[in-house]
Amino acid sequence: MKLRKLQEVLNEKTDYLCINQLNSMKKHIFLVVGATTMLIACISNQEKTENRMKEFISAYEAKAIPLFKEASLASWNANITGTNEDWTKSEKASFELAKIFSDSADFAKLKELKESGLVKDSLLARQVELLYNSYLGAQVDTALLAKQIKMETEISKKYSNFRANVNGKELTDNQVEEILHSSKNSKELQAAWEGHKMIGPLVAEDIIKLVKHRNMIAQKIGFTNYHEMSLKLSGQDPAEVTAIFDELDNLTRGNFAQLKNDIDTYFANYYHLKISDLKPWHYQNRYFQEAPEIYTVDFDKFYEKQDPVKLVASFYDGIGLNVDAILAKSDLYEKPGKNQHAFSTDIDREGDVRTLDNVKPDSYWMNTLLHELGHGVYSYYNDRNLPFTLRDAAHTFTTEAIANMFGRLATDPVWMKNMGIIDSIECNKITDVSHKALRLQQLVFSRWAQVMYRFEKSMYEDPEQDLNQLWWDMVEKYQLLAKPEGRNMPDWATKIHVALYPCYYHNYLLGEILASQWYNYLTTNITKDQSFVGEKAVGDYLKAKVFMPGARYYWNEMIERSTGEKLTAKYYAKQFVQ
Ligand SMILES: [Zn+2]
């Protein structure tokens, strides 16, 4: 009996130590009985631990899968009807799902399993890592968490209630944007810009308190500060993210400076000013985060007579990623009470994928539909054999990258031509200016994202420093905007993301960078057609290399496996800088 067991064990893959023990044991047959016990003990340590992990996962899935589905459906319904009743149901379902992760006894089990170092099977080990981060983030004293939510709610109310006072009139953010976008009167522009900035002093102190509170929470669960915690729990190493931002800074600095000169020349002429007299309110939006309208193509007119839903269905089908099942479950058009924006959601990770949109025949909605269905195909074409936890994107920014890559096609003249939206004469006519507009948009956004990432990182490292100065140092360095003389105001506190959507902004830029890396790989190695229209190989590649692997690899390993390189800003620079 024991000998048979030894043979069985020999047939199993055993680790190096065990095989060595085994070889020496075989020479001394009289020792077999005792040795077998040792051997089994040696193997079964790993096996036992892995079995305990499997049990943990089974128990977790039994609780989480039904609650996940319930919470996703409740949120979907609430976004469609907008009724208080549905929102209450949705909040309750999300709370029940989140509660799973705050269980401290389960966390202790998981921690022990992780720290044993004995969960070696790659799929199990990856699940340990992801689940551990989810549980760790929820191990916060509920009183501290409640205080954080209360502070955030108070700040949120101040933002919502604030109206800029411009020459005695109360203006919403949209009205401020409208003035900045259309006025040519410097006094009016300055008044709108300064009026909006008056939210800063109202919230700055509250935000600093909140930042310190978030830091305390992070320190209690073992992190240096909240920024580090946020990134690490989402599976990002801050040093790795900073390295990508440095790389992109180096690749874009020179070209952005040239482009900024062009922008300044354009605006000096537009406002009849000297370049040296241009101020931050002369750039058509509050933060210089979007491209000023220097190059204009009226894309909307090309879509007036088109049906974006038909176009998106036929495009994705053409690349081998049919989306009929997604569209059938989606809610595509405006309704009273319905969420006015757009999103994509994976209800059950088993094929029930939906997108919410408010489609109109224009270029914005063409871009948005391509974008949302990019998220959709990422979810829909997952590998149903993977465990539930791994049937997800490698990271939120990797699914954003796929969505961005497809969304960009809406204003790509070659795509529009190949989809039958414009003819080749029109295509040639708008190619150059379309590229310039996209390039300007990307470069302006990338410099702004540098400000956001570096400011937040530094603020959490030292919330006591002179943040007003830090903000303008970043704005001057990365966006090349000059601080108005003598200005010492908490302008950083006027950006709502700093207070309420912390440490996430960098993912928007990482998504753009990766979109370019995949686009370059696809157009170099998979197809010669830059529009992808009718190229089934594109869908085959994405399914095999991106969608099916789901979250089974660390995001940078997945990127390396799919493109041969880790995430790099090179291809973003190639597409938009040169
Ligand atoms: Zn998106």
Give me ligand 1 centre to Cα 103, in Å: 31
pLDDT digits (tens, 9 = 90+) for 375-419: 999 999 999 999 999 999 999 999 999 999 999 999 999 999 999
pLDDT digits (tens, 9 = 90+) for 429-486: 999 999 999 999 999 999 999 999 999 999 999 999 999 999 999 999 999 999 999 9
Pairing of strands 169-171, 343-346: unpaired
Distance CA 224, CA 174 (A): 38
Residue 574 tokens, joined = 């190639």
Give me ligand 1 centre to Cα 239, in Å: 25
Give me ligand 1 centre to Cα 575, in Å: 20
Give me ligand 1 centre to Cα 404, in Å: 7
Radius of gyration of the CA atoms of the chain, in A: 27
Whether the predicted pLDDT of 20 surpasses 80: no
Distance CA 397, CA 409 (A): 19
pLDDT digits (tens, 9 = 90+) for 207-243: 999 999 999 999 999 999 999 999 999 999 999 999 9
Whether the predicted pLDDT of 21 surpasses 90: no
Distance CA 288, CA 280 (A): 8
Distance CA 302, CA 317 (A): 22
Range from 186-195, 327-336, 337-346, 392-401 carrying the lowest mean pLDDT: 337-346
Give me ligand 1 centre to Cα 397, in Å: 9
DSSP at 354 = E
> What are the φ and ψ backbone dihedral angles of 468, each rounded to 5 degrees?
-60, -45
pLDDT of residue 91: 87
Distance CA 225, CA 217 (A): 8
Determine the Cα angle at 390 with ends 388 and 393, to 5°: 120
| Cβ 198 vs Cβ 165: under 8 Å | yes
Type of residue numbered 350: E
Number of neighbouring beta carbons within 10 Å of residue 399: 23
Average pLDDT of the residues in 20-28: 38
Give me ligand 1 centre to Cα 402, in Å: 9
pLDDT digits (tens, 9 = 90+) for 102-155: 999 999 999 999 999 999 999 999 999 999 999 999 999 889 988 998 999 899
Pairing of strands 169-171, 164-166: antiparallel
| Cβ 59 vs Cβ 100: under 8 Å | no
Percent share of the chain, pLDDT over 90: 84
In the numeric block, the tokens 């074409």 are attached to: 381
Residue 32 tokens, joined = 């077999």
* CA-wise closest residue to 253 among 120, 513, 447: 447
Give me ligand 1 centre to Cα 515, in Å: 12
Type of residue numbered 141: D
| Cβ 68 vs Cβ 98: under 8 Å | no
Residue 216 tokens, joined = 């305390």
In the numeric block, the tokens 């997800």 are attached to: 392
| Cβ 413 vs Cβ 427: under 8 Å | yes
Give me ligand 1 centre to Cα 395, in Å: 12
Give me ligand 1 centre to Cα 425, in Å: 33
Distance CA 498, CA 500 (A): 6
By three-state DSSP, how is residue 331 classified?
strand
Give me ligand 1 centre to Cα 306, in Å: 23
In the numeric block, the tokens 């509170």 are attached to: 213
Nearest 10 degrees: Cα torsion 459, 463, 469, 471: 30
Give me ligand 1 centre to Cα 512, in Å: 11
**Mean predicted lDDT score pLDDT of the chain:** 91
Pairing of strands 169-171, 353-356: unpaired
Give me ligand 1 centre to Cα 433, in Å: 26
Within a 13 Å sphere around the CA of 16, how many CA atoms are in the beta-carbon half?
A: 0
Give me ligand 1 centre to Cα 78, in Å: 20
Number of neighbouring beta carbons within 10 Å of residue 467: 22
Give me ligand 1 centre to Cα 114, in Å: 32
Based on DSSP, count helices (H) and strands (E) in the chain, helices before strands: 25, 4
Give me ligand 1 centre to Cα 200, in Å: 29
pLDDT of residue 1: 33
pLDDT of residue 38: 58
Range from 6-15, 494-503, 506-515 carrying the lowest mean pLDDT: 6-15
Q: Is the dihedral of CA 105, 103, 69, 66 positive or negative?
A: positive
Give me ligand 1 centre to Cα 406, in Å: 11
pLDDT level of residue 292 (50, 70, 90 thresholds): confident
| Cβ 199 vs Cβ 162: under 8 Å | yes
Alpha carbon 262 to its chain centroid, in Å, reads: 31
Give me ligand 1 centre to Cα 375, in Å: 7
Distance CA 113, CA 53 (A): 7
Length of the chain: 578
| Cβ 203 vs Cβ 153: under 8 Å | no
Give me ligand 1 centre to Cα 156, in Å: 23
Type of residue numbered 176: V
Nearest 10 degrees: Cα torsion 99, 105, 106, 112: 150
pTM of this structure: 0.89
Distance CA 318, CA 334 (A): 27
* CA-wise closest residue to 516 among 433, 424, 419, 402: 402
DSSP 465-496: S-HHHHHHHHIIIII-PPPPTT--S-GGGGSH
Residue 551 tokens, joined = 């979250």
Give me ligand 1 centre to Cα 421, in Å: 24
Give me ligand 1 centre to Cα 403, in Å: 6
Give me ligand 1 centre to Cα 371, in Å: 6
Give me ligand 1 centre to Cα 72, in Å: 17
Give me ligand 1 centre to Cα 518, in Å: 16
Give me ligand 1 centre to Cα 400, in Å: 5
Give me ligand 1 centre to Cα 255, in Å: 27
Angle, helices 238-271 vs 424-461, to 10°: value is 120
In the numeric block, the tokens 């090309």 are attached to: 302
Give me ligand 1 centre to Cα 339, in Å: 15
Q: Which residue has the higher pLDDT, 12 or 385?
A: 385
Pairing of strands 353-356, 343-346: antiparallel
